[in-house]
Amino acid sequence: MAELITNIGFVKELAATADNMYKHGWDERNGGNISYLIPEEEVAEHIDITKVRRTIPLGFNAKELVGKYFLVTGTGKYFKNVNGDPETNLGLFRIAKDGINAELLWGYVDGGKFTSELPAHLMSHIERLKVDPENRVVMHTHPTNLLAMTYVHELDTKKFTHTLWQMSTECIVVFPDGVEVLPWMLCGTNEIGIATAEKMKLARVVVWALHGIYGAGKTLDETFGLIETVEKASEIFMKTAHLPRLNTITDSQLKELAGLFKVEVRKGILS
């Protein structure tokens, strides 16, 4: 059964997403990581869930996620290679009953393990599931213009969000909850995981200044689209920030947009 899993929907979907992100130029070398929560019934259709191949310590306690299954990109692995060899570059595991171990059911066949950013991923899943029980995806990547923007724009959540909303008409509709901004922090640690998850209580996008972005959503497509929209806005910013600004989308126009599309806009940003 297990050898057929590379043909399975959720594996193909994650591999295609990683490939697409690589082709956007966001995931150089081993940059970026994705975690995808898969319902047990769906996993059990394709894999023998009683056959644990390896037990890997998580390095933190994820008791809120006990019994849940995640398909996750591997540490040190390159997004450009996922499509060609999912079984080496991805792994599917269950959070063990003790909450501190991962039970590997498929993948990481070269002896590898999950991304070093797993704390930020799982802690973000925990928080997003409280806000939206249908949240299944957490995605981290290094979008070029967003990264550039964090070098030249104030790292204030409200100001950063306001600037992005002004950079293209659809932004306030796609991310009415805004973006949360974290200052530079050491990546791959439980500390940045805790800080990211704290921000995920408030928004589906968390910017890691001078590093990249985290996005969360129900599906891979939706989460990719969210990050893509933020990145596009950042690109417009980077193309115009050094030029005289003659026109802008005003706050009252942003409010009109929110009204038309019936989205609840984060308070305290529009005047």
- Of 28, 41, 117, 198, which residue is the catalytic one? 117
Q: Is there binding between residue 187 and ligand 2HA (CB under 6 A)?
A: yes
The least distance separating ligand 2HA from the CB of residue 121, rounded to whole angstroms, comes to 10
User: Of the ranges 8-16, 39-47, 208-216, 248-256, which one interacts with Zn ion (CB under 5 A)?
Assistant: 208-216
Site string for Zn ion, 33-72 (x = CB under 5 A): ----------------------------------------
Task: Select from ligand 2HA, Zn ion, none the partner in contact with residue 81, using the beta carbon and a kind-dependent cut-off of 5 to 8 Å.
Answer: none
DSSP class per residue in the chain: -GGGGGGSHHHHHHHHHHHHHHHTT---TT--EEEEEE-HHHHHTTS-TT---EEEE-SS--GGGTT-EEEEEBTT--HHHHTT-HHHHEEEEEE-TTSSEEEEEEE-TTS--B-TTHHHHHHHHHHHHHH-TT--EEEEE--HHHHHHHHHS---HHHHHHHHHHH-TTHHHH-TT-EEEEPP--TTSHHHHHHHHHHHTT-SEEEETTTEEEEEESSHHHHHHHHHHHHHHHHHHHHHTTS-------HHHHHHHHHHTT--PPTTS--
The least distance separating ligand 2HA from the CB of residue 20, rounded to whole angstroms, comes to 17
Is 264 catalytic? The answer is no
Q: Is there binding between residue 193 and Zn ion (CB under 5 A)?
A: no
Q: Is there binding between residue 33 and ligand 2HA (CB under 6 A)?
A: yes
Choice from 6, 30, 81, 144 touching ligand 2HA (CB under 6 A) = 30
Q: Is there binding between residue 180 and ligand 2HA (CB under 6 A)?
A: no
What's the farthest any 2 CA atoms get from each other in the chain?
A: 63
Q: Which of residues 117-156 bind ligand 2HA (CB under 6 A)?
A: 117, 140
Q: Is there binding between residue 91 and Zn ion (CB under 5 A)?
A: no
Q: Is there binding between residue 143 and Zn ion (CB under 5 A)?
A: no
**Residue 6 or 116 with smaller CB distance to ligand 2HA:** 116
* 29 Ramachandran zone, left/alpha/beta (phi>0; psi -120 to 50): left
Choice from 86, 91, 176, 212 touching Zn ion (CB under 5 A) = 212
Q: Is there binding between residue 190 and ligand 2HA (CB under 6 A)?
A: no
The CA dihedral of 189, 74, 211, 209, to the nearest 10 degrees, is -50
The least distance separating ligand 2HA from the CB of residue 120, rounded to whole angstroms, comes to 8
Query: What residues make contact with Zn ion under the rule CB under 5 A?
Result: 212
Catalytic residue set: 117
